[in-house]
Copies of this chain bind each other. A is one copy, B any other.
Amino acid sequence: MWSIQDIKMMNRALKLARKGTYTTRPNPSVGCVITQGDEVIGEGYHIKAGGPHAEVHALNDAGLAAKGSTAYVTLEPCSHYGRTPPCALGLIEAGVVRVVIATEDPNPQVKGRGIAMLKEAGISVSVGLLAAEAKRLNKGFMKCMAIRLPWVTVKLAASLDGKTALSNGVSQWITGPESRRDVQRLRARHGALVTGIETVLADNPSLNVRHSELGELKQSLSETDIIQPIRVILDSRARLPVNMALFEVESSILLVSCVHYPEEVRNAWPEHVSHLLLPSMDGRVDLAKLLEHLGSLCHSVLIEAGATLAGAFMAEGLADELVLYQAIKILGDKGRNLLSLPEYGSMAMLPSMTLIDERKVGADTRLTLKLG
């Protein structure tokens, strides 16, 4: 069904799409390549929400030569008038005769309509080339459009024997500087960052993405291009004082509690703080309800929390992926455990997972595990 040329061109479109990884949110990352025979005559990718879509860039690049061409797009071209006119129409008007699409747009406003529009105009349309890669590239967008829940990544860092800190709480630094920079990039790819009140009280972190710590990404991503994730603090008993470092950084904070904050605390919050009250029977934040709410704000959530909260996301089956940074260290049995999970009686009860990526990050190893 697909020629070598097709595969090559879609891979090229995917590579272009990836350039938008850090900047297109809340839009998906999309790439487009336009060819005449073996020759690439136009290419482009979506850079920023509100700006032109990938197809527009590629068609502009091709110019009049687009007549009679083939277009490779990593996501179904849109069919609706949003901030930009529909891309399906653009392709039709440019005279493209064949469109190869990696995957359908799960967005209910599009979902097959872009394909239908192209077909109605007499264009030959094929869908599904490198679909898995294209879906993975926009995993948050895909999941959230389909079921209105954000993609949940749990970030963990531990020694080879699965410890996150010494018994006295010392955890600086188990992993190396390259891993810490990699975590900054991981944050920069997520729409929200979730942590617990205990972590905030213990470490007083800013929880933002710091341009100076992005490593090699600094060159291609300017400070103002960074889309700061919403900082979500789970503070069931409304204990968070206002003199914490995270309030000093001006980007969205969402405080989630099961009870009301005192009036004087609420009044002291800066503009960028909002509050979600999630009353609960057991005094703990209902994570499923939290994710329902976050699904209306963003497509992907990074959990950077201690063993209890991170374990709860896993144990409740709410996490999609684990990113584990493993340091070449042994802390011993007195160290603190990585994940609080239920007491399992048999191996068959363990959470199922698949290793999808493994690589060196400085002296550490980063494992990416798909759950479920």
Interface residues of A (CB under 8 A from B): 158-163, 166-168, 170, 172-174, 307, 311, 314, 322, 324, 326, 328-335, 337-347, 350-351, 353-355, 358, 363, 365, 367, 369
Q: How many Å from the CB of A259 to the closest CB on chain B?
A: 28
C-alpha spacing A344/B174, complex, angstroms: 13
**Which residue of chain B lies nearest to A328 when distances are taken between CB atoms in the complex?**
B355
Copy number in the complex reads 2
Q: Inside 8 A of A174's CB, which chain B residues have their CB?
A: 347
**Which residue of chain B lies nearest to A335 when distances are taken between CB atoms in the complex?**
B344
Cross-chain contact of A334 among B170, B343, B353 (Cβ < 8 A): B343
A333 engages B341 (CB within 8 Å): yes
Asked if A311 meets B338 with Cβ closer than 8 Å, knowing A162-B162, A162-B163, the reply is no
A338 engages B162 (CB within 8 Å): yes
Asked if A332 meets B339 with Cβ closer than 8 Å, knowing A166-B345, A347-B174, the reply is yes
Asked if A160 meets B337 with Cβ closer than 8 Å, knowing A168-B345, A331-B344, A342-B332, the reply is no
B307 engages A333 (CB within 8 Å): yes
Cross-chain contact of A337 among B161, B324, B342 (Cβ < 8 A): B161
Q: Inside 8 A of A345's CB, which chain B residues have their CB?
A: 166, 168, 170
C-alpha spacing A311/B334, complex, angstroms: 12
**Which residue of chain B lies nearest to A349 when distances are taken between CB atoms in the complex?**
B166
C-alpha spacing A338/B160, complex, angstroms: 9
Q: Inside 8 A of A338's CB, which chain B residues have their CB?
A: 161-162, 330, 333
B158 engages A324 (CB within 8 Å): no
Cross-chain contact of A367 among B160, B168, B347, B354 (Cβ < 8 A): B160
Cross-chain contact of A162 among B159, B322, B353 (Cβ < 8 A): B159
